[in-house]
Amino acid sequence: MKSDTIHEPLDKKLIPIIEKVENGERLTLEDGLILYETPDILTVGQLANRVNQQRNGDYVYFIQNMYINPTNVCEAHCKFCGFRRDPGEEGAYTMSTDDLLKYVDENMNENIREFHIVGGHNHTVSFDYYLDTVRTLKEHYPDVTIKAYTGAEIVFFSKISGLSIEEVLKQLIDAGLESLTGGGAEILTEEYRAKMSPEKASTDEWLEAHRTAHNLGLKTHSTMLYGSIESYEERLIHMIRLRELQDETGGFLVFIPLAVQPKKATASIKRRTSAYDDMRTVAISRLMLDNFPHIKAYWINIGTQLTQLSLSFGSSDIHGTLVEERISHAAGALTQTALTRDELIWLIKGAGRTPVERDTFYNIIKKY
């Protein structure tokens, strides 16, 4: 799939879309629907692969990072979440400063460049708790980038503190925050959010959190949780809203399609996204989000083999080592909770690409 020539598509409806892409024209929602509905998934993948290679060449990026989930206590009751707990419920936890440092110390190695921090919307602690988490980690590990909290968490912090979103972010930046994670977006339509996450940030609030972060100089990440009740049209509206904000600010580094996980690991395959949907969504993301540098394949949710295959469907990033992923696995992910650097390199080389270790901001650390 490295040729510059797109083969004659089986589905003639794709010809105008191919011409648009070749001429650098932006795809519409209607174009996106054709891409989702066509049986000719290989042409969609080939087109996305070419767009990605024009932008990123053969480079595929990864990072050595550590996931930290300081608390699973949460006031929200999102339909897709298996991680959250009520206060006092069995399995509920909130890390103290000592707990936090002990967890990191036990899992730390000299190559970890990023702490990825997300957790529950814990209303039993104050905003100071979340500030102290960032401040403590930055004081003890000054050379590690703090990528912390979702846009939804930022909105939650604003509500519990009485501060504006801008003031919340300024205080977090002063404490050591350097980037926002991409989570909490789910699907950016109010119809979806009313059914699946009614107690969390609205579409406009999530976008405003990232807009404000960008205006304060932060580069951030973005996600889409697909595969539950949303329509293809809603997925495309989600992408277009992110694309519009990116036009405005240029602050997003990457888009990460997240396949929704069933509540239990024993769930039927019919409760999981299909390989076709996963690869198609990666490819369509690359084609619709023409102003995003990178599309990430999230191996935690789609597995290592499909992550490798995604590198021929428009993905230029396969995430990181993680150390221990909890949230997707609490919901029923069947994958490993961590991978080694050598395993990530093996996956990338096996796809005929060049592995590139990066930092949070896609600065190159080392090529392999």
Sort residue 60 into left (φ over 0), alpha (ψ -120 to 50) or beta. beta
Domain 59-223+249-273+293-306+313-367 fold is TIM Barrel (3.20.20)
Residues 6+ apart with CB under 8 A from 96: none
Helix 165-175 to helix 127-140 angle, to the nearest 10 degrees? 30
Confidence category of residue 3, pLDDT binned at 50, 70, 90: very low
Q: Is the pLDDT of residue 202 over 80?
A: yes
Q: Write out pLDDT tens, residues 316-330.
A: 999 887 665 455 555
C-alpha atoms less than 13 angstroms from C-alpha of 317 in its C-beta half-sphere: 27
For position 334, what pLDDT does the model report?
54
> 134, 114, 119: which is closest to 81 by C-alpha?
119
Q: Write out pLDDT tens, residues 68-114.
A: 999 999 999 999 888 999 999 999 999 999 999 999 999 998 999 99
193-222 in b/e form (b: 16+ CB < 10 A) is beebbeebbbbebbbbbbbbbbeeebbbbb
The angle at the Cα of 280, spanning 278 to 281, to the nearest 5 degrees, equals 65
Largest CA distance in the chain: 61
Q: Write out pLDDT tens, residues 277-292.
A: 999 999 999 999 999 9
- Between CA 163 and CA 174 the distance in angstroms is 15
For position 7, what pLDDT does the model report?
81
- Between CA 360 and CA 348 the distance in angstroms is 19
Computed over every residue of the chain, the mean pLDDT equals 93
Do residues 111 and 63 lie in contact, with contact meaning Cβ atoms separated by under 8 Å? no
Q: Write out pLDDT tens, residues 19-56.
A: 999 999 999 999 999 999 999 999 999 999 999 999 99
Domain residue limits, the chain: 59-223+249-273+293-306+313-367
Confidence category of residue 301, pLDDT binned at 50, 70, 90: confident
